[in-house]
Chains A and B, each alone.
Chain A
Amino acid sequence: NFMLTQPPSVSESPGKTVTISCTRSSGSIASNYVQWYQQRPGSFPTTVIYEDYQRPSGVPDRFSGSIDSSSNSASLTISELKTEDEADYYCQSYDATNRVFGGGTKLTVL
């Protein structure tokens, strides 16, 4: 089984850009798609990125995803930060028999 490691927290000012990383412990990050979920307090998660960099309908293009095989990691980048982006963000991937979530990153927009 592999793990996905995220920083516990990041913070940035409104209007700026922030990037959240997600590092896979074993196996190639490129071998299975990575998804990103946003979770606001008291609510279930919603998808902001799927299949590494795709955005579901309704997610603004301020949200973007990428993978980097050299660091075996995925990244979620949010540009033009708004206070409404403040939330917990989780990466998620899978292998043949498991689905794995990262530990989550709390984004503070201050």
Chain B
Amino acid sequence: QVKLQQWGAGLLKPSETLSLTCTVYGGSFSGYYWNWIRQAPGMGLEWIGEINHSGNTFYNPSLKSRLTISVDTSSNHVSLTLSSVTAADTAIYYCARLNYNYYFDFWGRGTLVTVSS
């Protein structure tokens, strides 16, 4: 069974850099796109971006200038970095696997990141 375990800092000040990591346990790491998705409190889902095992990335245009998603295939890690955060970046951040049928089939439990001075 595939399991996605996330970790990272949950409280940031404005202008700091958000860093989260998602480790994939079980199943194959290569051959899939690994995604980050966020959900602000009381709001809907927002796609952040994705990466595959070769490092090919696609980013949400609205976040692209501040966003880096990277992969470490030796440890099955997928990392998210978002610079210059503001209160608008406060959200639950999920990592999720995109499967061959175009849907997100495995999700991490989510990490609440709060940006506050």
Residues of chain A whose beta carbon lies under 8 Å from any beta carbon of chain B: 1, 33, 35, 37, 39, 44-45, 47, 50-51, 54, 56, 88, 90, 92, 94, 97-104
- Give the shortest distance, in Å, between B109 (CB) and chain A (any CB): 7
Number of interface residues of B (CB under 8 A): 22
Give the tally of cross-chain contacts (CB within 8 A): 57
A–B Cβ pairs within 8 angstroms, 23 of them = A35-B103, A37-B45, A37-B104, A39-B45, A44-B96, A44-B107, A44-B108, A47-B103, A50-B102, A50-B103, A51-B102, A54-B101, A56-B103, A90-B44, A90-B45, A92-B45, A98-B47, A98-B58, A99-B35, A99-B98, A101-B46, A102-B44, A104-B44
Query: In the complex, what distance in Å separates the CA atom of A1 from the CA atom of B62?
Result: 10
Query: In the complex, what distance in Å separates the CA atom of A97 from the CA atom of B56?
Result: 11
Q: Does B94 contact A (CB under 8 A)?
A: yes
Query: In the complex, what distance in Å separates the CA atom of A101 from the CA atom of B37?
Result: 10
- Give the shortest distance, in Å, between B78 (CB) and chain A (any CB): 15
Q: Does B105 contact A (CB under 8 A)?
A: yes
Residues of chain B whose beta carbon lies under 8 Å from any beta carbon of chain A: 35, 37, 44-47, 50, 58, 60-61, 94, 96, 98, 101-105, 107-110
Question: In the complex, which residue of chain B has the Cβ closest to the Cβ of A36?
Answer: B103
Residues of A within 8 A of B102 (CB): 33, 35, 50-51, 94
- Do A98 and B44 have beta carbons less than 8 Å apart? no
Residues of B within 8 A of A54 (CB): 101
- Give the shortest distance, in Å, between A35 (CB) and chain B (any CB): 4
Query: In the complex, what distance in Å separates the CA atom of A3 from the CA atom of B71?
Result: 29
Chain A to chain B: the 3 pairs with minimum beta-carbon distance, closest first: A50-B103, A44-B107, A104-B44
Query: In the complex, what distance in Å separates the CA atom of A98 from the CA atom of B33?
Result: 12
